[in-house]
Amino acid sequence: MTDGAVELREPARQLKNKGKSPVVLRDLKHFLANRMEKLLSSDPRYKEFTSHIGQTRSTLQQTEISHLTPPGFKTKARFMNLKPTLDWAQMAQWQLDHSDSQARQGIEPKRIEAKLSWLRSFAGSIREWGQCQQVISQALTFFNAKGIRRGSARAFLQTFSTPDCAGRARQLLDEVVQFIRSSERRLKGCKRLPISSEILESSFALFKELEQQHAKSGFTSLLLTLGKLLRPTIQKEMRASLSRVKVADVKAWVAENTPKTVASQRQTAYSESRASKRATDLKAAV
């Protein structure tokens, strides 16, 4: 599975095992992000909307309305992460129209109007963009759980439940169905394959959470725990594993297969420097 980049897709197609070539599928999440980017990048209203978002973040921070500050845009893969911004826009619109809400208590109505009234002119666009996001969310939820096989596009349409899907959202839905049908044709018989790397990425996110401050320094010996993050662990299996594998075996595997991390190399560099300085100081003292 690739994100659509030629430098990944073409080498994968060259792989062969016993004369058989692998099935190379394009990642659904990247496809959807690219389609969403194409739809919104050509929309002048969206460019104006993002400009207002940036200005609103600056004017609301460190004020009595800071709890209504819009989320920041991600610099990478921002079209994969539009949902928080659209959720904020829908929430802020609701707050504008409900002066008696708890979130507005103690705030002058004119202050809310001055900071957020610009959203009213985008109501139609926000609704349409929200429908596009619903298409994306439902597609990822469905295909992350079920993968693809022959007939997947038809099954997805049967479960699709976004009312009044029209305009750009309808165009996006049609493109999703066409993409899935094109991928289906590459599968033989009853074969079922994943169509999104999101599950794999989520697994690495769990692993990074486990590594905590070491997450940016490379793989540590915690790499051995990755498999256990992907399924529940029961006490019986733990006992069996501990009795089957010796601590010495684990240490030997780690020493052979996991290189030193950036953090450990940095620590070694400082330790050597400090040790050398101490030795020099001792010689000078003598």
pLDDT for residue 16? 60
Q: Which residues contact 225 (CB under 8 A, 6 or more apart)?
A: 207, 210
Per-residue pLDDT of the chain (286 residues; tens, 9 = 90+): 565 555 555 665 666 666 666 777 888 888 898 888 888 888 899 999 999 999 999 999 888 999 999 988 765 556 667 888 999 999 999 999 999 999 999 999 999 999 999 999 999 999 999 999 999 999 999 998 888 899 999 999 888 876 677 788 888 999 999 999 999 888 888 888 888 777 777 777 777 777 777 666 667 777 777 777 777 778 888 888 888 888 888 888 888 877 777 777 777 888 888 888 888 888 887 6
At what angle are helices 44-60 and 109-116 packed, to 10 degrees? 140
Amino acid at 39: L
148 forms bridges with which residues in the sheet? 193
Report d(CA 220, CA 212) in Å as an integer: 11
- Name the residue with tokens 């006490």: 235
pLDDT for residue 103? 92
Cβ density class 174-212: b for 16+ within 10 Å, e for less: ebbbebbeebbeebeeeeeebbbbbeeeeeeeebeeebe
Closest Cα to residue 139, out of 20, 258, 29?
29
Closest Cα to residue 73, out of 90, 59, 56?
56
Pull the structure tokens for residue 111: 């202050």
